Amino acid sequence: MRAGNKFWWFASISFGLILAILASLTIIFWRELDPAQKTLLLQVVKEKFGYLFAALFLGLAGIGFLLDGIFHIYILPLVRVKEEAALINSANPGHRIQPEGSADLIELAGEINELADRYDQIRGSVEERIQRAKTEAEEEKNILAAFMAELPEGVVICNSEGQILLYNRQAKTILAGRASSESAAENHQSFIGLGRSIFSLVEKNLIVHALDEIAEKLERKEDNIVSTFVFIGKDERLFRFEAVPVLSADRKLTGFILIIFDITRELEKESRMGLMIDALTRRSRASAASIRSAIEAILEYPQMAPGQRDRFERIIQREAEALGDLLDQSTDELAEHIETRWPLVRTRAYDFLETVRKKADQRLAVRIDIAVADPDIEVRVDNYSLMTAFLFLIQRIGKAEGSFRFTLQAEQIKRLVNLDIRWDGKPIPGDLLRRWEQDILSVESEQFPLSLKTVLLHHEADIWSRSTKQAPGGACLRIMLPAPEISEPEKIRNITILPDSRPEFYDFDLFNQAGQDPELDECLLRELAYTVFDTETTGLNPAEGDEIISIGAVRIVNGRLLRDEYFDQLVNPKRWMSRESIRVHGIQAEMLEDQPTIEQVLPRFHRFAEGTILVAHNAAFDMKMLQLKESATGVQFINPVLDTLLLSAAIHPAHSSHNLEDIADRMGISIVGRHTALGDAIATAEVFLKLVSILAKNGIHTLKHAREASRKTFYARKKY
């Protein structure tokens, strides 16, 4: 409640009590008089009414001045002392109470300030000791941070809900893709940040499949519980992802680490190697044919003339030397290439077929049986791509042959492993199978951006169709893979991070968060993710055509201001700007000529703020500017909104000013870049973090509590 309103309530109640007391005394006095005295008293009142009214008016005025003095000397200063003492105790220990009011209150303010000074001294001493104790741990954290930053691979750590907890610079470059370096007006830009979902950057099916595979390995108590898959980035580069589980002490999955390798150049080298092998084969065959023909001629005509025999011998020598040079060159190129192959993971053939069976049942509603197979048969595969290839083939066979029941079988014959898809029907014709090989893998509405032929090539696999001998009338599609060498070393990555070893510096406590709950009103303020934003405009009348010329925003996750995750964009308003507005924000018209329009910028800002609570100072104005652009941009902001102006008024009703500068001054916050969208957004975010701690001391803990407290303030009635 505002101070003026409090005074009038206080004065009204006080006057009411005084009048009630006077009325009661008058009634009692009147009842004690006899009739003659009453007549005399009425006559005196009639004759002297003017004097009596003046005396009553002066008496009430005196009482009013007395009440005003009591309120402003004793009551209002006491309320301010309480608010400012709470401010010292929560958000700004360096704040001091300005003494005002009665002598006792001035003395009380002095005592509180003295206590605050002593508290500052004690706190400084404690912080100094804590800082000394943390120095060694901080150095280790900095080493870890530097190590993470300089890793050549991208690293992203997520909790079990897929929320990003940590990422390094390489991961940001890889996952943001080419959009991070293109014009800010591009609408396809991706955002990576703490608290965001990894599923917005990497196809969800790939990660879910990897986690399912990890869960199965954990259930089987295998040692190597890593899962790998291949993903094509926004800039058409190919990446290999290793998903490594983060486990609790009882081996429960609490999160996962994605380690990202760029294998684009490796695959380019492999493609060149394929061309080299083709060329080697053709040239070798040509040289061998020339040598063979020359030798056959010499053997067939042993009595040929010496000159002719010499020509054949020179042909043999020339072709043999050429073949030797070709082999030497090819050997060097092969040695360089041999370590750049698409890495494949060694797994049991039965486990792979079981995965295919489960996925076919879930995604294609196809019944699949697995024939008895040797459990010791192993294959080296990229699990996701080859599994998708099997589902692709099963789907195509089902459509071509009308079959919805299949049998999968694995058998090893010497150095080959045959993976068979069997069904009752006709074999697939060879020309149709060749056409399938050229098609991009797609299963229902999902698509894997590689062709069947590419996947088979990277597995060194071959495919062919035939009828089965075991069951007359049956057909079989066979994929032949090279069997892993017995002595082949197996790379095992087995990382387990226990909860007591995770560094708080990296915000690992988010592992235990439940994620975004639809019932946001019941969520604690400190657990929510926020986008704190501000706009600069051509003027202050959004309903009369003023336009947005700049949007700035920064994110708060888990009570931390993430300064590196910001949105800062100038906007071409396509209209003139007043000199008054230019004097406020300093943005000249020529600075906006080559900038994107609001129709291009607002969809990007909408994605930046997705899944968060919007926070602004005087939010009604900024929200109005956004709402007026809904029809032009097709973007509607339905995020819950909090206003730092209203929250400040809710917890400091005795203060008359709640502009951003005054609130920041009370909180001990220095504003840098005032009246720039990003500068004001950062200042508002710092103020909001301070307000959250004060709100908690006032019993305002949840989003619902904050909105209800805001709604009760005077400023909530202000409209634009």
User: Which active-site residues does the annotation give?
Assistant: 675
Side-chain half-sphere CA neighbours of 437 within 13 A? 18
d(CA 63, CA 8) in angstroms, rounded, equals 14
d(CA 56, CA 83) in angstroms, rounded, equals 38
Sign of the Cα torsion 121, 124, 130, 131 reads negative
**How many residues are there in the chain?**
720
Instruction: Specify the DSSP element, H or E, that contains 157.
Output: strand 154-159
Cα 108 to Cα 82, 280, 674: the distances in Å are 11, 95, 36
Amino acid at 238: L
What secondary structure letter does DSSP report for 572?
Answer: B
Cα 520 to Cα 75, 514, 516, 591: the distances in Å are 38, 12, 8, 40
Q: Residue 77 — left, alpha, or beta (φ > 0 → left; ψ -120 to 50 → alpha)?
A: alpha
Q: CB pairs under 8 A, 24+ apart, for 203-208?
A: 203/231, 204/162, 205/446, 206/231, 206/241, 206/384, 207/162, 207/243, 207/256, 207/258
Contacts with 398 (C-beta within 8 Å, 6 or more apart), sequence order: 364, 366, 404
Cα 448 to Cα 150, 362, 421, 688: the distances in Å are 31, 17, 21, 44
Instruction: Specify the DSSP element, H or E, that contains 167.
Output: strand 164-167
Cα 396 to Cα 429, 437, 443: the distances in Å are 13, 11, 9
Q: Quick check: 528 and 671 in contact, CB under 8 A?
A: no
Alpha carbon dihedral 140, 144, 149, 150, in 10-degree steps, equals: 90
